[in-house]
A and B are shown apart, each in its own frame.
Chain A
Amino acid sequence: MKVLSSYQDGKLTLHLKGELDHHEASAALRKIGRVLDDYLPQDCVIDMEGLTFMDSSGIALILKISRLMTETGGRAWVENARRQPLRVIDASGIDRMIKVVV
């Protein structure tokens, strides 16, 4: 999988692309941690438009990003999730803790 980022006016967007599973999760987390440290954004959008698959590793990743953002007084939310990642998000119940824009 790939993590690309774009930044504008205090809002960092993380574009997740490909398949997110346990094999990919550690490297993705490291990269995202570095990008968040670089920008210290007020808002962080997790853009899942290009994410074709995720399992519960994606849930861990979303929760971690949310925690890192809350620690610095910011907020994170999910946008543009396709059907499969959305079903995993629904089954996990994390949409009670983090905003998921559909």
Chain B
Amino acid sequence: MKQRNYIKMEFPARSVNEGFARAAAAAFAAQMDPTMDVLGDIRTAVSEAVTNAIVHAYPDSAGPVQMRLRILEGDQLEIVIRDRGRGIPDVKKAMEPMYTTGGEERSGMGFTIMASFMDSLRVRSSPEKGTAVTMRKRIRTKAEE
């Protein structure tokens, strides 16, 4: 699929970067002229994926988290959040609503929200190699809505 524009960035897995990542994603997506609701959905999905990487990928360090956004043909926005951490042992289990291995400040609803706000969600993970979360959404412009 032909790409019309993209950004790539990398930051350490520190929670202070969650706000930066979703703001950067929203700023990039703004050129597609989405509605405020859709922009909110994008910020939320990015926040969930980046938080997962920060909470789960690197238990003892602040390893690298990569974020890539692409605008593809057909007004498709693709978001990839990737880490090189310990991986998810059971992806299917991790994606079940309310399932979490995090503390009391985690709800286990992250993947549910990503899936609900984006058109597609794919999670690939390998032990000690890391996890890649790929999400896509067709962005209808304000004029289309």
Contact = CB atoms under 8 A, between A and B. Distances in A.
Contacts of B47: 21-22, 53, 55
B26 to A, nearest CB: 10
Per DSSP, chain A at the interface is helix
B126 interface: no
Contact of B109 (A21, A22, A92): A92
A63 B43 CA distance: 22
Contacts of B37: 83-84, 87
Interface string A5-42: 00000000000000101110110010000000000000
Contact of A21 (B19, B36, B40, B117): B19
Contact of B112 (A22, A84, A87, A91): A91
A53 B43 CA distance: 9
A59 B107 contact: yes
Q: How large is the interface on A (under 10, 10 to 19, 20 to 34, 35 or more residues)?
A: 20 to 34
B105 A91 contact: no
Q: How large is the interface on B (under 10, 10 to 19, 20 to 34, 35 or more residues)?
A: 20 to 34
B83 interface: no
Contacts of B129: none
Which of B47, B55, B97, B112 counts the most A-chain CB atoms under 10 A from its CB?
B47
B116 interface: yes
Interface in A68-88: 83-84, 87-88
Interface string B103-127: 0111111101100110000000000
B104 A21 contact: no
A87 B105 contact: no
B104 A83 contact: no
30 contacts: A21-B19, A21-B22, A21-B51, A22-B15, A22-B54, A22-B55, A23-B15, A23-B18, A26-B105, A29-B105, A53-B44, A53-B47, A55-B48, A55-B51, A56-B48, A56-B106, A56-B107, A56-B109, A57-B51, A60-B104, A63-B107, A64-B105, A83-B40, A84-B40, A87-B40, A87-B41, A88-B44, A88-B113, A92-B107, A92-B113
Given A21-B15, A22-B105, 4 more contacts: A53-B43, A60-B107, A60-B109, A88-B44
